[in-house]
A and B are shown apart, each in its own frame.
Chain A
Amino acid sequence: MNSNTLWLIGRRVGAAIVTLLIVSMVVFAITAVLPGDAAQQSLGQFATPEQVAALRLKMGLDQPGVLRYLHWLTSLLSGDMGLSVSNAMPVSDLMAGRVPNTLMLAAATALVSVPVALTLGIGSAMGRGGRIDSFLSFLTLTMVAVPEFLVATLAVLIFAVNLGWLSALSYASDITSPWQFMRTYALPVMTLCCVIVAQMARMTRAAVIDQLDSPYVEMARLKGVSKIRIVLRHALPNAIGPIANAIALSLSYLLGGVVIVETIFNYPGIASLMVDAVTNRDMALVQACTMLFCTAYLTLVLIADLCAILSNPRLRNQ
């Protein structure tokens, strides 16, 4: 670690923060500035002009957009995310109840998908061009293209309806035993894994093959090192950076999938809260959830970037 690397990392983190600021501007512009008059909307069309004017004043809508944005941003940063209209509760309380559930789901998915994807990716890179490899490449190509709700409905049909192993609508609020945990999480986690494993395996395969094509691997092969040893001792340590990069990037695809999966399985996480908020047009809640998701997404992309920087010896030891 030297000043050069630190400077590079600092610049990357700074760029991520600037991007997040721009994202917050876009989100605020779409949800609060463009769609006309929120006061008129919440009072309905039979409100008198005086009522609308009074509510406008109360909501601060008479101020220019820039001021409202700054006010919104500062209160967001201090943890005050406003009041959810449809639930009559502070947004932060609503979200605090839901975030752990989604994190649990994400953690379980990551725990299952990463080992599976790495095995698949490394395995198909080792047998490149072979039968297993082309089958895996077809499988991953297909899984990337399949909508989450197809996987979810098929999984429910097979495991809940036909085999009767699991319950279709999964959520049990009190989880006491590991067995119950498995039953609750099996279907949502499996659905999420399908898409992510495909992405991750594809990128891992590309990263390992990139190393296997390099001269030092050819040297090792020429001096008679066994195939397993080449992959595990020579190629893999050098591919760790790109693989970590692939893992972080693939996990950011979770954000899209989790919206569908939480809805179809009735899972009380942050994404189903957001879908409800969108349906009820509960703006404060939508803004807060969007910012949370975008922050998580940008953090994962940033981690992917940092993995790539830190694993590159040329950048590290210059």
Chain B
Amino acid sequence: MNNLIVKSPATSKLALGKGSHGSSWLGLAGAAMCVIWLLVAIFGPWLAPHPVGEVVSDNVFDTLSAAYPLGTDYLGRDMLSRILVGARFTVGLALVAAVLASGLGTSFALLSVVSPKWLDELISRFMDAFISIPSKMLALIMVSAFGSSVTLLICTAVLSFTPGAFRIARSMAVNIEALEYVQVARTRGERRLYIACVEILPNMLNPVLTDLGLRFGFIVLLLSGMSFLGLGVQPPDADLGSLVRENIGGLNQGAPAIVIPALAIGTLTIGVNLFIDRLSSRRSRRSGGH
């Protein structure tokens, strides 16, 4: 029975992708970037020097200056304030959607592992159908049908990222379910809910959390991409993607108003990826993988 414990393909691929030992400080840098953006998302609106919608300068697309550290946007609003407030939308929406997607995916995975074969089959087929619609396509048709709103964006992200979370969680749960202590628990006559939550879940929590981090990065990319197309967060609210879009007119002048929000999204997602890569490569080393 023991030889059923194979490493899941996802973790082994990540382990192959890891660099040498030099990746340790990169992981730290990634973690630092994540923490900084999390803090900005929580405290940003209080730190903003100007009200977010206020036109403070006569110069549009101003460059960096002491009064406006990140320049001004296409209406002469302070970029620093707009980014500090916009980060809350980007991080907050993606975090809610990622937690929901991962939670739902894992719950369905546990359900399908402990339930009868037909239900398992049904859930898996359903998830397979949704995984074969690219997330951006799904987001586009959802927006075209229902119009864009914050709730809809979260629903869309959950809908397109739950199947992936389900697939990874299920492949782990199936391996754990075949282990002896779960068989013992089953023979002991434990209920299914108990087996799923007490026997299986704690043993797959770490990889599930890693997967949540990866999904968070993908969702940030999806949502800011939608906002960039003008189909995401709607004015007067603005996330980082909308900031890039509304200042696109400054591209020809090389205005900081367009580069900085784009860089902000980049640092956030790169930070998450470096951090997650570090976590998963350390785990695979500890478990004797690579």
Residues in chain A near residue B273, CB distance under 8 A: 141-142, 144-145
CA distance in complex: A133, B18 (Å): 10
Task: Give bound CA distance, A317 to B276, whole Å.
Answer: 41
Selected contact of A153 from candidates B16, B132, B244, B253, CB within 8 Å: B244
The 8 Å CB contact of B144, one of A146, A259, A260, A278, is A278
Q: Is residue B128 within 8 Å, beta carbon to beta carbon, of the partner chain?
A: yes
Count residues of A near B (Cβ-Cβ below 8 Å).
61
A293 with B244, Cβ < 8 A, contacts A156-B251, A168-B252 known: no
Which of A30-38, A76-84, A107-115, A306-314 forms part of the interface with chain B?
A30-38
What is the bound-complex CA distance between A205 and B13, given in angstroms? 11
Contact mask for chain A residues 18-55; partner B; CB cutoff 8 A; 1 contact, 0 none: 01001100110011001100000000000000000000
Q: Give chain B interface residues in 208-267, CB to chain A under 8 Å.
A: 217, 221, 224-225, 228-231, 241, 244, 248, 251-254, 258-259, 262-263, 265-266
B residues within 8 A CB of A282? Answer: 144
Q: Does A14 contact B (CB under 8 A)?
A: no
Q: Does B277 contact A (CB under 8 A)?
A: yes
A residues near B128, Cβ cutoff 8 Å: 19
Alpha-carbon distance A263/B245, docked complex (angstroms): 11
B229 pairs with A260, CB closer than 8 A: yes
Contact A30-B142, Cβ < 8 Å, known A147-B225, A293-B137, A297-B134: yes
Q: Chain B residues with Cβ under 8 A from A22's Cβ?
A: 129, 132
A274 touching B140, Cβ below 8 Å: yes
- Give the residues from 124 to 165 in chain A that come closer than 8 angstroms, CB to CB, to chain B: 129-130, 133-134, 137-138, 140-142, 144-150, 153-154, 156-157, 160-162
Chain B 71-115, CB-CB to A under 8 Å as 1, else 0, gives 000000000000000000000000000000000000000000000
For residue B154, give the distance in angstroms from its CB to the closest CB of chain A: 16
B228: contacting residue among A130, A154, A260, CB under 8 A: A260
In the assembly, what is the distance between CA of A161 and CA of B61, in Å?
Answer: 15
Is A129's CB under 8 angstroms from B144's CB? no
- Expressed in whole angstroms, the minimum distance between the Cβ of A253 and any Cβ of chain B is 9
Q: Is A193 an interface residue (CB 8 A)?
A: no
Name the B residues within 8 Å of A264 (CB-CB): 248
Q: Does B146 sit within 8 A of A, measured CB to CB?
A: yes
Question: Is the CB of A97 closer than 8 A to any CB of chain B?
Answer: no
A157-B17 contact, Cβ under 8 Å, with A23-B129, A255-B134, A290-B140: no
Chain A contact residues: helix, strand, loop or mixed: helix
Given contacts A23-B132, A146-B266, A157-B251, are A275 and B229 in contact (CB under 8 A)? yes
Q: List the A side residues contacting B4 at CB < 8 Å.
A: none
Q: Quick check: is B272 within 8 A (CB to CB) of the other chain?
A: yes
B135 A23 Cβ-Cβ under 8 A: no
B32 within 8 Å of A by Cβ?
A: no
The chain A residue sitting closest to B148, CB to CB, is: A278
Binary flags per residue of B115-137, CB closer than 8 Å to A gives 1, else 0: 00000000000001110111111
Instruction: Please state if A279 and B263 are interface contacts (CB–CB under 8 Å).
Output: no
Binds A, one of B20-28, B36-44, B49-57, B187-195: B20-28
Given A153-B259, A260-B228, 19 other A-B residues pairs in contact with their CB atoms under 8 A: A23-B133, A31-B144, A134-B23, A137-B18, A138-B19, A145-B266, A145-B270, A145-B273, A149-B225, A153-B258, A153-B262, A209-B16, A260-B229, A275-B140, A279-B230, A281-B144, A293-B137, A294-B137, A301-B132
Residues of B within 8 A of A (CB): 13, 16-20, 22-23, 26, 128-130, 132-137, 140-147, 217, 221, 224-225, 228-231, 241, 244, 248, 251-254, 258-259, 262-263, 265-266, 269-270, 272-274, 277
List 5 A-B pairs, Cβ < 8 Å: A22-B132, A150-B266, A263-B228, A275-B231, A286-B140
